[in-house]
């Protein structure tokens, strides 16, 4: 099962935009599969170290995420999450959300964080990304559980399988 952050580190895996970091292929590979991490990184000409990610709010993020304008904007405005902003949802966040299938639920995530807080949301979202059979955390792109092979790999995939499969076919 994917190593889950300690309670004190929880916010590191709750991105300002509403993404759930523990359900990211990069985060999972960093924690569990150095060989997969190397293969993933090589597609971007990143070293294994550059490919490591410990969460959007951690000190170790992907090169792509180092320049996250949403995180910088939230920090500049003193906000924990984009949904706290008077300009929410801004055009940048709308474009970001629409670009990839693992971002489909950003609006729901941010609304839930606002209503129950990020710690309760994390408990719920961990269950949403957990295999119903073995409870391993899977990414939005794991159609089958990466540990036990069960289908669907998690609630997220069950809800959005068609869009995920369409994306994977065009990659």
Instruction: Give residue 21's pLDDT band: very low, low, confident or very high (50, 70, 90).
Output: very high
Instruction: Tell me whether residue 166 is in a domain.
Output: no
Lowest-pLDDT range of 6-15, 34-43, 55-64, 94-103 = 6-15
Instruction: Give residue 66's pLDDT band: very low, low, confident or very high (50, 70, 90).
Output: confident
What average pLDDT does the segment 47-70 reach?
92
Instruction: Tell me whether residue 18 is in a domain.
Output: yes
> Is residue 3 over pLDDT 50?
no
Kindly report whether the peptide bond that precedes residue 25 is cis, defined as omega within 30 degrees of 0. Answer: no
Instruction: Tell me whether residue 156 is in a domain.
Output: no
> Is residue 54 over pLDDT 60?
yes
CA distance 95 to 157: 22
Concatenated DSSP letters of 90-109: PHHHHHHHHH-GGGTTHHHH
Q: What is the pLDDT of residues 77-106, one digit of tens each?
A: 999 999 999 999 999 999 999 999 999 999
Instruction: Domain of residue 50: give its range.
Output: 7-132
Q: What is the pTM of this model?
A: 0.90
SS3 131: coil
- What's the confidence (pLDDT) of residue 9? 62
Q: What is the pLDDT of residues 26-37, one digit of tens each?
A: 999 999 999 999
- What's the confidence (pLDDT) of residue 5? 44
CA distance 22 to 129: 9
Instruction: Tell me whether residue 161 is in a domain.
Output: no
Instruction: Tell me whether residue 57 is in a domain.
Output: yes
Q: Are 1 and 137 in contact (CB under 8 A)?
A: yes
Q: Are 119 and 10 in contact (CB under 8 A)?
A: yes
Instruction: Tell me whether residue 143 is in a domain.
Output: no
Q: What is the pLDDT of residues 111-166, one digit of tens each?
A: 999 999 999 999 999 999 999 999 999 999 999 999 999 999 999 999 999 999 99
Instruction: Tell me whether residue 33 is in a domain.
Output: yes
Instruction: Tell me whether residue 109 is in a domain.
Output: yes
Report the domain count for the chain. Answer: 1
Q: Between 82 and 8, where is the model more confident?
A: 82
What average pLDDT does the segment 42-67 reach?
93
């Amino acid at each position: 099962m994917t190593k889950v952050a300690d309670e004190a580190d929880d916010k590191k895996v709750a991105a300002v935009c509403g993404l759930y970091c523990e359900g990211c292929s990069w985060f999972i590979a960093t924690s569990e599969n150095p060989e997969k991490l190397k293969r993933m990184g090589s597609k971007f000409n990143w070293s294994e170290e550059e490919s490591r990610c410990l969460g959007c709010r951690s000190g170790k993020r992907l090169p792509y995420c180092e320049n996250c304008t949403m995180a910088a904007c939230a920090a500049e405005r003193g906000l924990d999450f984009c949904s706290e902003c008077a300009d929410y949802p801004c055009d940048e966040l709308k474009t970001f959300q629409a670009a990839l299938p693992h971002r489909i639920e950003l609006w729901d995530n941010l609304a839930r964080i606002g209503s129950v807080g990020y710690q309760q949301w994390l408990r719920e979202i961990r269950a949403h990304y957990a295999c119903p059979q073995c409870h391993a955390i899977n990414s939005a792109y794991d159609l089958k559980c990466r540990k036990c092979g069960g289908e669907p790999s998690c609630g997220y995939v069950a809800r959005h399988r068609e869009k995920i499969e369409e994306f994977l076919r065009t990659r």
